[in-house]
């Protein structure tokens, strides 16, 4: 069984100021998604599903065909690509929503857009985050081991200290889990940064506490998930309820952590926390770009990636 990779690439990246998904950051103009697909193929994934917006669908298709048209899976078969769009009006029929709303409904809504094209265990990642080779291997192994399973999902947890930006504070969901590694909750923290004393501080958005010292080894979510296909039906039910409750709000979003948390606490599923040693990096801010370019060059210089990548 070859798992599928679902790439969330519909966001504009308001803080960054442009389409991060199309920005060439590698030595030969590679995007972050290029590296994710390279690592996913090496880990045994067989299909890539892109969630995009309609207005740049054609551009994305042309770019993908030009870059990856020749790529083969580890068994020699062609790597399959599917494109699905996320738009504001892609919701269940008969539910009234605020006509003034302008943005789609968030990451869990985006995942639902792939319901008709994914029938096997699959991973979800952000299109503008670098996760590392080991992260994809760990998640691919987990997905293969859970073929045919239902109601059990996973999240790849990164050490908090391995996910900071050099250009400003970041928001991270810190994972809390039991002795068996089952996720209990994700607590959102804001303005996380390493300060002059070398320690990591942030604000807890749940209880309002500010400037808390945080454990740099705590595992946090970078939106790298593993799901079995039954997740679609469970989250679709939650989305229906969500729209009935919040459909008149202009900015409320249906996020993956909310959906997973609801499934866990309803007793309909569980989520394993997988730990990765890899360092995350990405372009949260425009100011992050030079450091990311330098990191990709370093990875190429060390022989971890070829240049050009494809």
pLDDT category at 310 given cuts 50, 70, 90 is: confident
Contact 169, 193 (CB under 8 A): yes
Contact 262, 234 (CB under 8 A): no
Residue 59 has pLDDT above 50, yes or no: yes
Per-residue pLDDT of 23-45, as tens digits, reads 789 999 998 999 999 999 999 99
Mean pLDDT of the chain: 92
Say if strands 152-159 and 270-276 run parallel, antiparallel, or are unpaired.
parallel
Write down the CATH number for the domain with range 4-301. Answer: 3.90.550.10
Contact 230, 151 (CB under 8 A): yes
Tell me what percent of the residues of the chain surpass a pLDDT of 70: 96
| CA distances for 275 relative to 38, 56, 81, 109, 133, angstroms | 21, 34, 28, 26, 13
Q: What angle do CA 235, 225, 253 make, to 5 degrees?
A: 50
Residue 21 has pLDDT above 90, yes or no: no
**Burial environment of residue 305 by CB neighbours within 10 A (0 to 12, 13 to 18, 19 or more):** buried
Mean pLDDT value across residues 208-213: 90
Residue 188 has pLDDT above 70, yes or no: yes
Query: Please, which residues have CB within 8 angstroms of residue 310's CB and are 6 or more apart in sequence?
Result: 34, 38, 67, 68, 70, 71
Residue 19 has pLDDT above 80, yes or no: no
Per-residue pLDDT of 107-164, as tens digits, reads 999 999 999 999 999 999 998 899 999 999 999 999 999 999 999 999 999 999 999 9
Residue 18 has pLDDT above 50, yes or no: no
Residue 248 has pLDDT above 50, yes or no: yes
pLDDT given at position 16: 38
Per-residue pLDDT of 79-114, as tens digits, reads 999 999 999 889 998 888 999 998 899 999 999 999
Contact 156, 274 (CB under 8 A): yes
DSSP secondary structure of 208-221? ---SEEE-TTSEEE
pLDDT given at position 12: 45
pLDDT given at position 56: 84
Residue 168 has pLDDT above 90, yes or no: no
């Amino acid at each position: 069984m070859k798992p599928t990779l679902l790439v969330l690439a519909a966001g504009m990246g308001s803080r960054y100021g442009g389409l991060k998904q199309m920005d060439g950051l590698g030595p030969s103009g590679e995007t972050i998604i290029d590296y994710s697909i390279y690592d996913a193929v090496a880990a045994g994934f067989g299909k890539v599903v892109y969630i995009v917006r309609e207005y740049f669908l054609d551009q994305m298709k042309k770019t993908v065909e030009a870059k990856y048209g020749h790529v083969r899976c580890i068994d020699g078969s062609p790597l399959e690509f599917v494109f699905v769009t996320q738009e504001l009006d892609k919701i269940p029929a008969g539910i009234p929503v605020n006509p003034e709303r302008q943005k789609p409904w968030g990451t869990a809504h985006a995942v639902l857009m792939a319901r008709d094209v994914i029938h096997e265990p699959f991973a979800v990642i952000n299109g503008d985050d670098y996760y590392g080779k080991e992260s994809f291997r760990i998640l691919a192994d987990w997905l293969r081991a859970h073929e045919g399973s239902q109601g059990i999902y996973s999240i790849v947890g990164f050490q908090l200290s391995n996910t900071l930006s050099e250009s400003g504070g970041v928001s991270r969901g810190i994972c809390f889990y039991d002795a068996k590694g089952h996720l209990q909750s994700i607590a959102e923290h804001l303005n996380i940064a390493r300060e002059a004393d070398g320690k990591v501080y942030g604000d807890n958005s749940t209880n309002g506490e500010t400037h808390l010292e945080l454990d740099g080894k705590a595992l946090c979510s970078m939106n790298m998930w593993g799901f079995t296909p039954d997740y679609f039906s469970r989250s679709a039910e939650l989305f229906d309820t969500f729209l009935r409750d919040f459909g008149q709000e202009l900015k409320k979003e249906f996020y993956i952590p909310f959906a997973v948390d609801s499934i866990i606490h309803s007793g309909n599923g569980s989520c394993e926390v997988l730990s990765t040693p890899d360092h995350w990096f990405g372009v949260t801010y425009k100011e992050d770009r030079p450091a990311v370019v330098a990191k990709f060059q370093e990875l190429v210089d060390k022989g971890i990636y070829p240049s050009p990548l494809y």
